Amino acid sequence: MIVVAIAAALLSAVTLAAFFGRFFWILDVFANFRPQYFVALVVLGAVLMMGRWRRFGAATLAAAAINLVVVLPLFIGNPGEPDPSRPALTVMTFNLQGSANEQYGEVIEFIQRQQPDLVLLHEAHRPWELAIEPLGSDYRIIRPRSDDLIFGTLVLARGQLLDWESHGFASAEARAVELTFIPPGWDVPISVLAAHPHSPTDSARADLRDRQLEFAAGWAEDREGPLIVAGDLNATPWSWAFRRLEGSGLRNSGLGFGIQATYPTEGNPLMRVPIDHVLHSPQLGVRSRELGPALGSDHFPLVVELELRS
């Protein structure tokens, strides 16, 4: 029982410490596993209660409840009632996993089957740029990757493309693509920021990711009208950097649809986390949100159908 109590104390401490990820990057990494902490603390708390460590068990269950409160909005958030008469836009964002993924045909077939209006393919290198060319009859293809970069984000868009621009960051990599276009059936343009910040695997990369997401938040605050920020953001909804995005007025399309963890595709499913996102401005609502198959990547593709509501 001592071992159970020590484990419960450690996880309870991590539960509280993860709220302070803004001040230390490792604490923000800890915040990505709130659902796992909830499940583990419920089990540990129940064992302690049955072992007559009731005060310790109650404190452990209280720590579990903290994680539940943080995660619960993904299950009870109301996406609103869809209106079929409104103009719709289907967005697909997918981290291809670069050169490790050679399932070109499967990805193209999935796109053709889903028929999204906007496709964002991250970590695309030259072979992917060539493989995707057959879709040029259905989409306007944007290839922002410069010759000195190995990977970039491929953008496929239907409708009238008005403008696009590639944004680089301190690493000299183009980590975001901005575009403005009028989707089919729309009479107003929509602004999109396709982002792929760095993974927070050390303090320098975590700082760079935070600044990249800060850029995305500022981008959203500076614009009016319908807009989207989407991509592999390398942050869960419980990361403070992600909460900064929501503080810019963007809404998480995942509210009301559950966790829908997108990474990693292999290993224990209970350890997956949702780091691929579509956030949208208040003028847009969510009709549907689902994950596709792995398609050779360590990420699942995310497909979100939005509608223009005001």
Question: Which pLDDT band holds residue 194 (cuts at 50, 70, 90)?
Answer: very high
Q: From CA 110, how far away is CA 127, in angstroms rounded? A: 18
**pLDDT at res. 164:** 94
Question: Which pLDDT band holds residue 19 (cuts at 50, 70, 90)?
Answer: very high
Residues forming a β-bridge with 303: 92, 290
**pLDDT at res. 83:** 87
What lies within 8 Å, CB to CB, of 165 at 6+ separation is 177, 178, 179
CATH H-level superfamily of 88-308: Endonuclease/exonuclease/phosphatase (3.60.10.10)
Read off the pLDDT of residues 92-147 as tens digits, 9 standing for 90 and up: 999 999 889 999 999 999 999 999 999 999 999 999 999 999 999 999 999 988 77
**pLDDT at res. 116:** 98
Neighbours of 117 (CB within 10 A): 22
Question: Which pLDDT band holds residue 80 (cuts at 50, 70, 90)?
Answer: confident
Question: Which pLDDT band holds residue 171 (cuts at 50, 70, 90)?
Answer: low
Q: Is 190 exposed, middle or buried (0-12, 13-18, 19+ CB in 10 A)?
A: buried
Q: Where do the structural domains in the chain lie, given as residue ranges?
A: 2-71, 88-308
Asked if residue 304 has pLDDT above 60, the reply is yes
**pLDDT at res. 168:** 67
Q: Is 172 exposed, middle or buried (0-12, 13-18, 19+ CB in 10 A)?
A: exposed
Residues forming a β-bridge with 124: 152
Residue that wins the pLDDT comparison between 3 and 150: 3
Residues forming a β-bridge with 190: 181
**pLDDT at res. 18:** 97
For the chain, how far is it from start to end, CA to CA, in angstroms?
Answer: 57
Read off the pLDDT of residues 28-72 as tens digits, 9 standing for 90 and up: 999 999 999 999 999 999 999 998 888 989 999 999 999 999 999
Residue that wins the pLDDT comparison between 39 and 81: 39
Rounded percentage of the chain residues whose pLDDT exceeds 70: 98
Read off the pLDDT of residues 240-267 as tens digits, 9 standing for 90 and up: 999 989 889 999 999 999 999 999 999 8
Q: What is the 3-state secondary structure (H, E, C) of the chain?
A: CHHHHHHHHHHHHHHHHHHHCCCCHHHHHHHHHHHHHHHHHHHHHHHHHHCCCHHHHHHHHHHHHHHHHHHCHHHHCCCCCCCCCCCEEEEEEEECCHHHCCCHHHHHHHHHHHCCCEEEEEEECHHHHHHCHHHHHCCEEECCCCCCCCCEEEEEECCEEEEEEEEECCCCCEEEEEEEEECCCCCCCEEEEEECCCCCCCHHHHHHHHHHHHHHHHHHHCCCCCEEEEEECCCCCCCHHHHHHHHCCCEECCCCCCCCCCECCCCCHHHCECCEEEEECCCEEEEEEEECCCCCCCCCCEEEEEEECC
